[in-house]
Structure 1
Amino acid sequence: MKKIVTITATLALAIVGGFLLSQAASAVGIYDACSTDPNNIVCANSSESVDPVIKTVIRYLLIISGIVSVVMVIIGGLKYSTSNGDSAKLSSAKNTIMYAIIGVIISALAYAIVDYVFLRIIGK
Structure 2
Amino acid sequence: MDRKNDLKNKYPIGYNVFVATPKELVEYLDESGDSPFSSWLSNLRDSKGRAVIRKRLNRIRLGNLGDYKSVGDGVYEIRIHFGPGYRIYFGVDQETIVVLLAGGDKSTQIDDIRRSKGLWKEYWR
State the TM-score, normalized to the length of structure 1. Answer: 0.29
State the TM-score, normalized to the length of structure 2. Answer: 0.28
Greater Cα radius of gyration, structure 1 or 2:
1
1 or 2 for the larger relative contact order (CA 8 Å, sep ≥6)? Answer: 2
More helix by share: 1
